[in-house]
Structure 1
């Protein structure tokens, strides 16, 4: 894998940012999935023959787990509560790629964890990779950032990344505070799935000490995960035009929209973490083009 991932200086909307290109780590394990699953990639599990997880039908974690299982020679079972008829009839994106890797799709059950409990030959992965093993790879991310700060003599740094489960943001803040207590490095995030209260609950499931929790920022208007917003499509296109970087269409537009309304954050040196996930753009872009066909020509 391409580690440490590069950091580049970009200008967006006439403001300078630093961009951590975790999307360039690996085609199959890019961004936060490379960090969350690093432990499983680099350790041996001779007693495991199956990995089980659950989530949405276009999940980035689902695809990366399908690759991990294929590499390790494991069966991969994935539980999902809904697959759209169109997706079943026209497989594409993460869904198609995971199926090609041998994923076995199962109808969702509320007790997926209970199904595998007491079975030592099964590795259970929480939705989105939300578990303690993720610390292993995210700590490496923190070490890379600290080394870059020292090389560039950046004493105070703000870090921003959008969140699903919030695992990356949480363990990054905790690792930075643990490894780099003498420097002022703060992690900011915004909830893309659910609201601020939901994200706080996710943090508490992994870390009870709120000292280690990132700072949560939100837009005033409520945001529904997976819904198509014209503003998200427009800022995604602007990001490509102004930076030349392809971002994820599901999380990054809300991330950048949120960051830009908080000058108290980006007025200091700010590092935005590109968490990959662009394989999922195939399905999202089709939906945006159908709903907002005039945006590309404006």
Structure 2
């Protein structure tokens, strides 16, 4: 097994940048998906602090999210490397996931993580019934952490100040690459869930007065939700990335034929992308590319490919195995 330092410094930084043809343009692809499989993409950056630093007395990491979240698997791998226990709370676990575990859920279970179904837990404990119903975050903060003094709590998707450490490293890599290429006015684009990576990237470039702009789109919740996430981590709007909108409301996790078609288009390049964030990301990118003139554009590949083990069969069942037109 790799030591923590080997994993962090050898495999969680300095991902390559490749040229990628999309919508008649050359896009530069930051291949964070090629970092260590256990910490693919943005989770490698968000969780780098935990690998690089000691947490004296900590024996457990506690997180929450969906039963197929990329952060579930990455937290399970972190706990395994650190010798910690790992508890991960979810709103519910679908029957088909329990019956035939795949993807991030199966990998996390194999790493020894306890995935705790909050709905089942509350149903079995009448004293916990209340209105409004518990959220995972409220339950952890009010019912779990007071009894877990040796536990490290990581908010959903790694949305916390600790993430700034690893994302700033990503920013320095992009800065160095742009300088080596002699580029100016570089636009960096990535789709967002909590927006943590996009926020800390843009914050770094603004504070260092570097001529690189970060743009993003809301995949979870919508533009107002994403802006709120930015403010919770940084109240200075001047340091927030620009939010772009494709012009249509999409529900996170729902299957859309245009997502599937876009995913097949971008996968034709022999680079594998994931099915939750990247399809909408590239749809937004395609819409706005003509407005950016000759400015160079970088797309950050954020990993998450393990989630395709569950998403792709769903798409194939609904739309068939080939859908090549938008």
For Structure 1 versus Structure 2, the TM-score category normalised by the shorter chain is over 0.9
CA–CA distance in structure 1, aligned partners of residues 147 and 293 of structure 2: 48
Which residue in the other structure is 1:214 paired with? 241
1:1-298 to structure 2, matched below 5 A, reads 1=11, 3-108=13-118, 109-110=134-135, 111=138, 112-114=140-142, 115-117=144-146, 119-179=148-208, 181=209, 183-241=210-268, 243-262=269-288, 263-265=290-292, 267-293=294-320, 295-296=322-323
Query: What is the Cα-based RMSD across aligned positions, in Å?
Result: 1.4
Identify unmatched segments of 5+ residues in structure 2. Answer: 1-10, 119-133
TM-score, structure 1 normalization = 0.96
CA–CA distance in structure 2, aligned partners of residues 190 and 295 of structure 1: 27
1:86-131 deviation per Cα after TM superposition (whole angstroms, max 9, x unaligned): 1111100000000011111223342212221474311000000000
1:9-56 deviation per Cα after TM superposition (whole angstroms, max 9, x unaligned): 111122110000000011110110000000001111121001111100
CA–CA distance in structure 1, aligned partners of residues 66 and 12 of structure 2: 28
TM-score, structure 2 normalization = 0.88
Local SS of the residue matching 1:261: helix
Local SS of the residue matching 1:9: strand
8 Å Cα contact 2:13/2:169 also seen in 1:
no
Compute the displacement of 1:80 (Å).
0.3
8 Å Cα contact 1:47/1:120 also seen in 2:
no
Rg comparison, structure with higher value: 2
Range with greater deviation from structure 2 (85-94 or 106-115) = 106-115
